[in-house]
Chain A
């Protein structure tokens, strides 16, 4: 192995190892290895700092930077579980799922799937917490995903029940068990006005968040997280709309998507035409239908696809 690779692996293992509760570098790692010995093996001391202390600067810097990033992205989750449990959750998540992307934008991309396998970290509000994480990640995706040219009026004439319709890549659909969107907006507004200070008022407010979330009653909701004029919006939609849009996103034809929308639903047959007309008018106005993705079109023509 190259010396460079060896040093980088050894230093990364130390830097990415979790800090102690006092936010210092542990003297021993979880596997029993001595961080002191490892630091002395690769890092020179100077007249003021030991090898361990110099390595510790990077260890702390790594965690502070990544904690700050997740705190910014998931304030709603933090409000649900409380500060101390959120810290433990971040530490465990980043230990299991270190960043695999060149940009911190993607740091929370695996949080929902990871939390699904670790419900103990978000109990007794695991469903609520997972709903919040889904909404917070959908927001990140909707914020800076691609927006393609809208379907023009002249493209509409050829559409029939066998057509497939392309939706904006920045549109995200969520089926949630709790109406978390209002609470997330409150948390964001309050956090935004506090300049992320850790003063007493801020801590008290966060405790209030926990109580408020604990009192939230479950109520199924369906949300479209979308972008309009580069602002992200949370739009409540009907369950039938959610099913229909999900089917279109999955590549089903308009006819198939309509079948999926009303399968087992309670909407009377008489009400369905006006429901569909209103829904599609609404979505068209919001620019959710786009020109077909040329790459997708080419892929769909290849024999293997």
Chain B
């Protein structure tokens, strides 16, 4: 790749970085930049941010193939480690009420 082309592409990437950072700031802050419009951690914050992302990444071009939108794969917290006993009834037959 020609050096000039490479520099052009890097500049495009940095420009995107800056516009993304600016857009993020606009979602999280008031125009004055002092008071947050949306509380981080709230559902509205996340949905607003994702709406921005989708609008920004898919507008007017055909090169966002596969951009079907983000999907939450979350399944809540995990707490596997515990000190409870695990058992069944192989030795004894049915479980009796405590």
Which positions in A face B, CB cutoff 8 Å? 22-24, 49, 53, 56-57, 60-61, 64-65, 68-69, 72, 103-105, 107, 135, 139, 143-144, 150-153, 156, 159-161, 181-182, 184-185, 188, 192, 221-222, 225, 228-238, 254-255, 258-259, 262, 267, 269, 271-287, 289
Assess whether B91 is interfacial by the CB under 8 Å rule. yes
Q: A281-B19, A285-B49 are in contact. Are A188 and B75 (CB under 8 A)?
A: yes
CB distance from A90 to the nearest CB of B (A): 15
Give chain B residues whose Cβ lies under 8 Å from the Cβ of A69: 80
Interface of A is mostly: helix
* A236→B68 contact, CB < 8 A: yes
Across the A-B interface, give the 6 residue pairs with the lowest CB-CB distance, nearest first: A284-B20, A280-B16, A161-B10, A281-B20, A273-B12, A277-B16
CB distance from B20 to the nearest CB of A (A): 3
Q: A161-B6, A281-B56 are in contact. Are A225 and B14 (CB under 8 A)?
A: no
A-B contact pairs, 19 of them (CB 8 A): A60-B87, A64-B88, A72-B78, A139-B75, A143-B78, A153-B18, A156-B17, A182-B71, A228-B46, A229-B41, A229-B42, A233-B74, A236-B69, A238-B66, A272-B12, A281-B16, A281-B19, A282-B57, A289-B17
Give chain B residues whose Cβ lies under 8 Å from the Cβ of A285: 20-21, 23-24, 27, 49, 52-53, 56
* A274→B61 contact, CB < 8 A: yes
Q: A161-B7, A161-B10 are in contact. Are A278 and B56 (CB under 8 A)?
A: yes
Residue from B41, B64, B66, B78 in contact with A278 in the complex, judged by beta carbons closer than 8 Å: B64
CB-based nearest B residue for A235: B70
Q: A278-B16, A281-B57 are in contact. Are A181 and B88 (CB under 8 A)?
A: no
Residue from B12, B24, B61 in contact with A287 in the complex, judged by beta carbons closer than 8 Å: B24
Give chain B residues whose Cβ lies under 8 Å from the Cβ of A103: 80-81
* A259→B66 contact, CB < 8 A: no
Assembled-state Cα–Cα distance A279/B10 (Å): 12
Among B6, B40, B74, find the residue whose CB has the most chain A CB atoms closer than 10 A: B74
